[in-house]
Chains A and B, each alone.
Chain A
Amino acid sequence: MDYKQINGLLERYFEGQTSLEEEQQLQQYFAQAVIDERLQQFAPLFQFFEVEQTAALDEQFDARLLEAIEEQAKVVPMRSTGRRVILRWLSRAAAIVLIFAAAWWVYDTQQPLEQTGIDWSKYEVTDPQLAFALTQKALKGASAQIKKGSDMAQSEVKYISTMTEILK
C-alpha cells in the first residue's frame, strides 16, 4: 500500500471511522520493515497494539485454576455432609432422651402419694435426768451463740468509735 492510502486510513482511524479490516491493514503496514518516513511517528502505536496481543498467562495457570476448582469442590460438600451427619445423630439422641423422660414422668406420677412421716415417739426421752441434761446443753449452746453476738457487737462499736475518732 502506498503512502496516500495509508495516510487516508490513518485519518479515518483517528476519527473512529475505520472498520476492523482496515485497522488490521494498518497494523500489517506498520509491522513491515520499511515504513514511509512521513508515517514513522505513528508506527510505535500500531506496533504496540501488536505486541500487546501476545501478552498471556503462563503455562501453569490452567493447572493452578483446576486445582483451585477441585480444592473448592472438596471443601464445600465435605462441610455440608459433616454437618448433616452430626445433625442426624443429634436428632436420634434427642429422640431417645425424650422417650426416657416421658417414661420416667409416667412412672413418677403413677406412684401412690403416701406420706411416710417420721414416728417421733420413738425418740421421745423418758428418763428425767437425761431430759434435764439435754435441755441444759441446748440452753448452753443458745447462750453461747447470744454471747458471741454481743461480743461481736461490742467489738464493732469499738471499731466504729475509733474510726470516728481518727476521722475527726
Chain B
Amino acid sequence: MDLNQFKSTVLPIKNKLYRFALRMLGDPAEAEDVVQEVLIKVWNQRADLTEVNNIEAWCMRLTKNKAIDKLRLKHRNMQDLETVYDLQETSQSPYAKTAYSDTLKQIKQLMEELPEKQKQVMHLRDIEGMPYQEISDSLEMSMSNVKVNLFRARQNIRAKLLKTESYGL
C-alpha cells in the first residue's frame, strides 16, 4: 500500500474512529491523539494490510484498545489526583458547543453513564448505523453479546428518559 492508497482507503474512516474514541474518552484532544496513533500504526503495518479482510473493523479494534489504555491511565491518574482536580467537565469541541441544547446534553450524559460495553455497542449501532456483524468484528464480541448489550443500553436509556420525564424535566 502506498501513500495514495492509504489516503483513499484508510483516511476516510478517520472521523468514525474519532467519534468512537470521543465516545469512550469524552475528550476531543485525547480522541484525536488516539486516532493519530492508530493511523500511524496502520501505516507502519501496511505490509500486513493485505491479510486484513476488514480494514475498518481492524482500525476500530485498534482504536478501542488504545482508548482503553488511555482510560486506564486516566483512571489511575484520577485516583492519584482525586482531590486536586475536578475532572467532571471535559472540554468540548466547537461542534458540541454550538449544537448542544440542554436536552441533548442530558442525553449525552445518559449515554456517558452507561456501562462501557453498552456504550460502545450503542454508539456503533445508533450513531454509526453499523450492522451487527461489523459491530461484532469491531468490538471482538459475539453477535449475541452485541445484541444483549444493545438491548440493555436501550432499556437503560428508556428507563432514564421516562424517569426524567416524570420529574417534569
- A and B pair up: yes
Q: Which of A's residues lie within 8 Å of B, judged by CB?
A: 13-16, 20, 23-24, 41-42, 44-45, 47-49, 51-57, 61-62, 64-66, 68-69, 72
List B contacts of A61 (CB < 8 A): 14, 32, 35-36
B97 to chain A, nearest CB (A): 12
Interface string of B19-50 (1 = CB under 8 A from A): 10010000000001001100110011000000
Q: Is the interface of A mostly helix, strand, loop or mixed?
A: helix
Closest B residue, CB atoms, query A40: B165
Flag if A68 contacts B36 (CB, 8 Å): yes
List B contacts of A72 (CB < 8 A): 40, 44
List A contacts of B81 (CB < 8 A): none
**B interface size (C-beta, 8 A):** 42
User: Is B1 part of the contact surface with A, judged by Cβ < 8 Å?
Assistant: no
Which listed residue (A44, A53, A62) contacts B11, Cβ 8 A? Answer: A62
Stretch in contact with the other chain, from B60-68, B83-91, B155-163: B155-163
List B contacts of A55 (CB < 8 A): 15, 18-19, 22, 93, 95-96
List B contacts of A13 (CB < 8 A): 154
- Complex CA gap A66/B126 in Å reads 31
Which listed residue (A15, A42, A68) contacts B151, Cβ 8 A? Answer: A15
Given contacts A20-B129, A48-B108, A55-B15, contact A14 B40 (CB under 8 A): no
